[in-house]
Amino acid sequence: MENYKNVPGYLYGLSPSQMDMFMTEDNPVRRQSESVTEESISSARNYLDNGGMWSMSGINDRGPSKYSMSVSMYRGGGRGYGRPRTAPPDLPSLLLDARICYLGMPIVPAVTELIVAQLMWLDYDNPSKPIYLYINSSGTQNEKMETVGSETEAYAIADTMAYCKSEMYTVNCGMAYGQAAMLLSQGAKGYRAVQPNSSTKLYLPKVSRSSGAVIDMWI
């Protein structure tokens, strides 16, 4: 760069006086270029290629939508409508942006807390849009038919579904046994789906037997 004045101007497209503007230490272009790193360039390119806010699948006549990036990634969008080159950074958040709740474990307190929180957030975010609940759960029992959760956990989810203003669409994508089948039935009429290889099974709730003196029945 020190001998640029000896090189024909057409190679740069700028005159020597114009080039002098970029050779000073305090020019704004030079200061800005110092903040550019290989990491920032690659991340910006990844954003542009893999479904950024200006991707075709995430924009409409009114401009980019609120969920333009996430919806574009969810639909396999991006520039040229191709699949993203890299995996989404946070799959649970991606599903939540698409208003999908996934129940894929037995209904234990930790699962109930997560599902209820997701339902309440989605209903608060936009009560006019439906919520999709995908179910692949053995209910309050595990695969050995051992009780691992209380029926009240499932009823907490069912009551939250009834409380939400958003319409509930339920899908059995594997199995819905016991209380999970009850949650499947909580979907809106006409929007309760069972996939071809899925199974649904109902069974009576297991309750602990009580015993004691007969006189205690009168107390």
> Where are the domains positioned within the chain?
9-41, 99-207
The pLDDT-based confidence of 71 (bands split at 50, 70, 90) is: very low
pLDDT tens-digit readout, 193-218:
999 999 999 887 666 556 666 666 66
What token pair was written down for 39?
A: 């990491």
Residue 48 or residue 176, greater confidence: 176
Computed over every residue of the chain, the mean pLDDT equals 75
pLDDT at 79: 42
Is the pTM higher than 0.95? The answer reads no
Query: What are the tens digits of pLDDT across the range 142-167?
Result: 877 788 888 899 999 999 999 999 99
Q: Average of pLDDT values for 83-100?
A: 75
pLDDT tier for residue 64 given thresholds of 50, 70 and 90: very low
Confidence of residue 137 (pLDDT cuts 50, 70, 90): very high
Per-residue model confidence (pLDDT) at position 54: 40
Least confident of 25-29, 116-120, 190-194: 25-29
99-207 maps to CATH 3.90.226.10: yes
